[in-house]
Amino acid sequence: MNYQLWMEPDDCQTFCPGGPQGDTARKLLHPDAKMVWEVEAHSHVEAMTQYYAYMEWGEYQSDLPEQEQK
């Protein structure tokens, strides 16, 4: 699955699925928001792990590890 990182003019960001799964999130973006990064991942955990690495935030730790492994 494709995931996209969008940056808004006020430096807020949205990380959401690409394609139809992310349509609702993208509809909320400022008209001048720009997609700055895309990544392919097989799961939400993999996407978040890559997102954290891209942002240089350290290791991704889920609040719900049991549910994310499903």
In DSSP terms, 13 is beta-bridged to 7
Give the pairing type, strands 34-40 and 13-17.
Answer: unpaired
List pLDDT tens digits, range 14-70. Answer: 999 999 999 999 999 999 999 999 999 999 999 999 999 999 999 999 887 665 655
Bridge partners, 2 (sequence order): 40
Domain-wise residue ranges, the chain: 2-68
- Alpha helix positions (H), 8-64: 23-27, 44-55
Question: How far apart are the C-alpha atoms of 58 and 70, rounded to whole Å?
Answer: 23
Report phi then psi at 43, rounded to 5: -155, 165
Indicate whether this model's pTM tops 0.85.
Answer: yes
pLDDT score, position 70: 54
Read off the pLDDT band of 7 (50, 70, 90).
very high
pLDDT, mean of residues 1-23: 97
Quick check: helix, strand or coil at residue 26? helix
